[in-house]
Amino acid sequence: MGGTLPVAIRSQTLGRRQIAQAGGWVYAANTAGGIAGALSSSFVFLPWLGVRGTALAAGALNLGAASLVLILVRRASMSSPEAAKEKVRTASPPSKSRVALALYAIAGGIALSYEVVWSQTMPQFMSTRVFAFSLVLATYLAGLVVGSALYARFSHKIRDTWGVFGFLISAAGLVAQFEITLLTLCQLRVQIEAGDLVYAVAGNEFARMCTHFLVASLGIVFVPTVLLGAAFPAVLRLTAGVEHAGRDAGTVLAVNTAGGIAGTLLTGFLLVPTLGLVRTLSVLAIAAATVGALAVLLGLSVSGKLRLAVCVVALIAVAGAIFTPPDRLARLLLTTRGGGNLIFYQESGGGTVAVADQRSGDNVFRRLYIQGVSNSGDAMPSLRYMRLQAMLPLIIHHGETQSALVIGFGTGITAGAVLHYPGLQRRVCVELLPAVVRAGDLFPENYKAGSDPRMQLRIGDGRQELLRTAERYDLITLEPPPPSAEGVVNLYSTDFYKLAGRRLEFNGLFAQWLPLTTQNDKDTQSLVRSFLDVFPYATLWTTEMHEMLLVGSYSPIELDTTQIARRFAQSSVSTTLQTVGISSPAALMATWVTGREGLERYASNVRPVTDDDPRIEYASWVRPKEITSTLPKLLALRTEPPLIGGDDVLRAEVARQRDSLWDFYAGGIAAYDGDREQWTQAMQRVMASDDKNPYYLWLLGSAR
């Protein structure tokens, strides 16, 4: 692919002397195609065709383009046999072309470094959905198109190429720096207001969010990339000759790309982890100012006015870099996330991690943010479902568990629950971001899982961990980010479940977190279908109103009431669960929803999520109050838990606990629908049945 641009530029310069003009238009056209590819892959091809189908479609488009070129070349050679022999004699490239190439290589590193920084900065104020990243990339490329096209359009009027090149690079650094330095809550609100306006016209939530992403991208990315895009034809003019247009254009592209490789590695692996995002932007601004200043100082016959302008721009960029506070982004984070007190903030190569103290009604809790997106916290609902994420499958396991693997540390609460389950000989937790583990010290409810020597903490990707080692476990439980987040779908696919299944011991259990508010009902069905296609024995449990738990196995899942009661009676287990409203074995078994038969009814007519068809990642935006559709459908599947043993008293208590829980959920759905009378009646029944339950009391306190 890297060879096509020099060839295209050479074909456009035959018989011409304006290589900057020809190169600018070709570069603009090529990059415009890149925009189409970036958008169509995310919005059209991958959702419709899957990964393999998209690759085949791209190959077909390549072959189609090649065929068209061959046809056009054949016709041109037939109509003008001498055209192919035409040669243009011109002077060698200007002197100091090597200096220009060196400076443009550095500029390439700066340009790609900005892309690395922006890819981590912008999700904090947008989203981690793949559509957001696609629109940021498209905006980046659009800036290059506009800049290159503008230079090509006016190249014949430009006499002072060195000065213009220096101005473009230094101005790009200045604008990129001050867009962050001067970023305010008002500017962030413009994104929301633009999205609301589109929603008012189109009535589409997906269009609203894409408008939000696009406005944010235009405000941060577009102007600097316009300036950087114009630098390409400027450098062509400084370094390339028409006689060797293909060779010289290839050299320019090669050194720029090589600089981009170096800049990407340096920024991602050294600058951001060491300095943070804001200071890295400052370093890039100073580097851009230096490149611009060197260009005007080393260039031939640069006018005094332009030299002065570049120096002024460079000085302002350096001043902005020096005086921009390094916590600039941290200060803005919570203004768009409901306020609160920021107590931890760290920018790392893998993402930004923050912890904040926040309030909900009468309750104060801590919330974990990764890339600006909430990844749970220690509020009672989160505490409840994360403890059940580990404790429930360990308690119902048919056999004596010796080992457990937790994929995703997060707040550390699930890992902490594993620590509190006695009898385990091997406890392993895999987490991608070291900063997340460090932030875990701020969540006391995780029982210091991040520093307890009984827990083996491994930094890495959960799926790669299962590929890397053949270790087997009695329980694998995972609580990754929501399935719609970019790059996470491969922890919810049938291919992943098959891999995880090979790492289970005999009678081993696999527990998958199933959020209900992060995708639409049809997408939830696809997630369930993926699970059913791998595990012949599958069960569904409700761990909190907004979350459920899929537990699967290759062996029958039996609810032995005697064994469950014995395990629950262990002090470390009962204490861990009683604080989240699971007061007895009956209350635990009351969270049962259905077995495989019910799940088959729910997900019988949908396609599963696979590595090749990652549909959940490209699903439409979640409709408002979608939980009021999904939760009732899942609760309608409920069956009596298949208890083995137990007397009538136990079964009656399980039924009473289930009725209270179902009443509570009915009240929650009524609250979403704005039916205060039904909510009040449901809560009165719940309190009459279980007025000491801390889970119910917490949510009632939040409603005040």
What's residue 96's pLDDT?
63
- pLDDT confidence bin for 687, thresholds 50/70/90: very high
pLDDT digit string (tens) for 156-165? 888 888 888 9
Question: 408 by DSSP, 3-state: which?
Answer: coil
Phi, psi of 621 (to 5 degrees): -65, 150
- The shares of helix, strand and coil residues in the chain, as percent rounded to the nearest 5, are 65, 15, 25
- Return the minimum-mean-pLDDT range out of 356-365, 450-459, 503-512: 356-365
pLDDT digit string (tens) for 656-684? 999 999 999 999 999 999 999 999 999 99
Which range among 117-131, 531-545, 623-637 has the greatest average pLDDT? 531-545
Phi, psi of 536 (to 5 degrees): -65, -25
Q: Letter for the amino acid at 38? A: A
pLDDT digit string (tens) for 545-583? 999 999 999 999 999 999 999 999 999 999 999 999 999
Report whether pLDDT(133) > 70: yes
Task: Determine the average pLDDT of the residues in 435-443.
Answer: 94
- pLDDT confidence bin for 16, thresholds 50/70/90: low
Q: What percent of the chain is modeled with pLDDT above 90?
A: 55
What's residue 86's pLDDT?
45
Report whether pLDDT(652) > 50: yes
Structure tokens at 378: 């220690």
For the chain, the domains span 4-49+94-328, 379-385+479-702
Which of 195 and 612 is assigned the larger pLDDT?
612
Asked if residue 14 lies in contact with residue 86, where contact means CB atoms within 8 angstroms, the answer is yes
Report whether pLDDT(87) > 70: no
Cα separation of 97 and 240, whole Å? 8
- DSSP structure string for 490-535: GGSSHHHHHHHHTTEEEEEEEEEEEESSSS-HHHHHHHHHHHHTT-
Report whether pLDDT(90) > 50: no
Report whether pLDDT(247) > 50: yes
Report whether pLDDT(633) > 80: yes
What's residue 15's pLDDT?
55
- pLDDT confidence bin for 3, thresholds 50/70/90: confident
Q: What percent of the chain is modeled with pLDDT above 70?
A: 95
- Return the minimum-mean-pLDDT range out of 237-246, 456-465, 503-512: 237-246
Which of 17 and 613 is assigned the larger pLDDT?
613
Task: Determine the average pLDDT of the residues in 328-353.
Answer: 80
What's residue 508's pLDDT?
96
DSSP secondary structure code for residue 485 in this structure: B
In sequence order, the 6+-apart residues with CB closer than 8 A to the CB of 451 are 441
- pLDDT confidence bin for 17, thresholds 50/70/90: low
**Helix ranges (DSSP H) in 221-303:** 223-239, 245-266, 272-275, 277-298
pLDDT digit string (tens) for 95-109? 567 888 999 999 999
Cα separation of 145 and 449, whole Å? 50
Residues in the chain: 704
Report whether pLDDT(263) > 80: yes
Cα separation of 378 and 18, whole Å? 64
Residue with tokens 């090669």: 254
Cα separation of 661 and 666, whole Å? 9
What's residue 669's pLDDT?
94
What's residue 93's pLDDT?
52
Cα-based distances in Å from 117 to 42, 92, 188, 268, 681: 21, 39, 18, 8, 52
Phi, psi of 278 (to 5 degrees): -65, -45
pLDDT digit string (tens) for 273-308? 888 888 999 999 999 999 988 888 877 667 777 788
Residue with tokens 């000759």: 241
Which range among 290-299, 306-315, 533-542 has the greatest average pLDDT? 533-542
- pLDDT confidence bin for 703, thresholds 50/70/90: low
Dihedral sign for Cα atoms in the order 396, 397, 403, 408: negative
Task: Determine the average pLDDT of the residues in 11-30.
Answer: 78
Asked if residue 503 lies in contact with residue 470, where contact means CB atoms within 8 angstroms, the answer is yes
Which range among 40-44, 363-367, 411-415 has the greatest average pLDDT? 411-415
- pLDDT confidence bin for 88, thresholds 50/70/90: very low
Task: Determine the average pLDDT of the residues in 234-248.
Answer: 81
Task: Determine the average pLDDT of the residues in 26-49.
Answer: 90
What's residue 259's pLDDT?
94
What b/e string do you get for 687-701 counting C-beta neighbours within 10 Å, with b at 16 or more? bebbeebbbbbbbbe
